[in-house]
């Protein structure tokens, strides 16, 4: 089974609207971390936001927030007031384990977000 | 703030040649990871090092080897290059010293083209 599933290959959103990018995950670990990255056409991988499995509050970083629903194993990224510069590929990723051993990230297949002026 | 530095940014090699990619982690980061991202693909984990020792291994071909040096920089050596090795290679770094790993910062990547 896929560990990270992103079901939206592509999305088109009007500028200034909010957008939700879906991510579901599969793990039997109690301790894990969920990450979102932005990859513009230039190729770099930009860290956006992190949510730990024991964090009770949803993570927020500026215009980014993570809608974490542990029972449903979902970690959707919400971008408020989208901007043209938000057009990029977005990857959801998971780190399983406590962070002191198996720390590699497993990525989803990504969602290509296009912001329309 | 200092970021993860990768060199070179772009590399063109012929089949059967060798390539060496370098990664300089964020200062005081003790863990380095290598990922390979093929065209239109998600990044795939290759190998990681903690305190200069290999800590985990993913789908890294036997033709590839890597190490982490005393100054924590890492090198990925790729031999007998094949067309299918053309990809974006990322290095990421993090620190275990600060506690639970909540961050993993990536370098800008090395785009390897094998012709």
pLDDT at residue B82, rounded to an integer? 98
Say if residue A66's pLDDT is above 60. yes
The minimum CA-CA distance between A82 and chain B, rounded to whole Å, is 24
What whole-number distance in Å separates Cα of residue B108 and Cα of residue A66?
Answer: 24
Average pLDDT over residues A53-57: 90
pLDDT at residue A64, rounded to an integer? 97
Do A81 and A50 touch, CB atoms closer than 8 A?
no
Q: Are residues A47 and B104, on separate chains, in Cβ contact within 8 Å?
A: yes
Collect all residues of chain A within an 8 Å Cβ-Cβ radius of residue B5: none
Q: Are residues A45 and B90, on separate chains, in Cβ contact within 8 Å?
A: yes
pLDDT at residue A41, rounded to an integer? 93
How many alpha carbons fall within 13 Å on the CB side of residue B105? Answer: 17
Mean model confidence pLDDT for chain A: 92
User: Which member of B92, B96, B102 has the closest CB to residue A33?
Assistant: B102
B86 or B51, which is more confident: B86
pLDDT band at residue B96 using 50, 70 and 90 as cut-offs: confident
Say if residue B29's pLDDT is above 90. no
Say if residue A23's pLDDT is above 60. yes
What whole-number distance in Å separates Cα of residue B82 and Cα of residue B13?
Answer: 9
Do B114 and B83 touch, CB atoms closer than 8 A?
yes
Distances (CA, A) of A65 to B8, B55, B61: 34, 32, 37
Beta pairing, strands B110-114 & B10-13: parallel
Say if residue B97's pLDDT is above 90. no
Say if residue A17's pLDDT is above 80. yes
pLDDT at residue A96, rounded to an integer? 81
Average pLDDT over residues A84-99: 89
Say if residue A99's pLDDT is above 60. no
Q: Are residues A52 and B55, on separate chains, in Cβ contact within 8 Å?
A: no
State the best of B100, B105, B107, B111 to mutate against chain A, taking most chain A CBs within 10 Å: B100
Q: Are residues A47 and B96, on separate chains, in Cβ contact within 8 Å?
A: no
């Amino acid at each position: 089974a896929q560990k990270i599933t992103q079901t939206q290959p592509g999305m088109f959103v009007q500028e200034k609207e909010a957008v939700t990018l879906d991510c579901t995950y599969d793990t039997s670990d109690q301790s894990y971390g969920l990450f979102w990255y932005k990859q513009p056409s230039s190729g770099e991988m930009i860290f956006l936001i992190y949510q730990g499995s024991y964090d009770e509050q949803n993570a927020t970083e500026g215009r980014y927030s993570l809608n974490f629903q542990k029972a449903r194993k979902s970690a959707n990224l919400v971008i408020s007031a989208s901007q043209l510069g938000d057009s990029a590929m977005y990857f959801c990723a998971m780190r399983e384990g406590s962070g002191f051993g198996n720390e590699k990230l497993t990525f989803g297949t990504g969602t290509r977000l296009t912001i329309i002026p | 703030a200092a970021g993860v530095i990768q060199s070179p940014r772009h590399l063109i090699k012929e089949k059967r040649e060798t390539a060496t990619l370098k990664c300089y982690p964020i200062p005081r980061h003790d863990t380095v990871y290598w990922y390979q991202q093929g065209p239109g693909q998600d990044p795939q984990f290759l190998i990681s090092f903690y305190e200069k020792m290999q800590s985990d291994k993913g789908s890294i071909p036997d033709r590839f080897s890597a190490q982490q040096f005393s100054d924590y920089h890492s090198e990925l050596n790729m031999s007998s290059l094949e067309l299918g090795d053309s990809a974006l290679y990322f290095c990421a770094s993090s620190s275990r010293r600060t506690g639970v790993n909540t961050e993993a910062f990536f370098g800008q990547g090395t785009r390897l083209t094998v012709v």
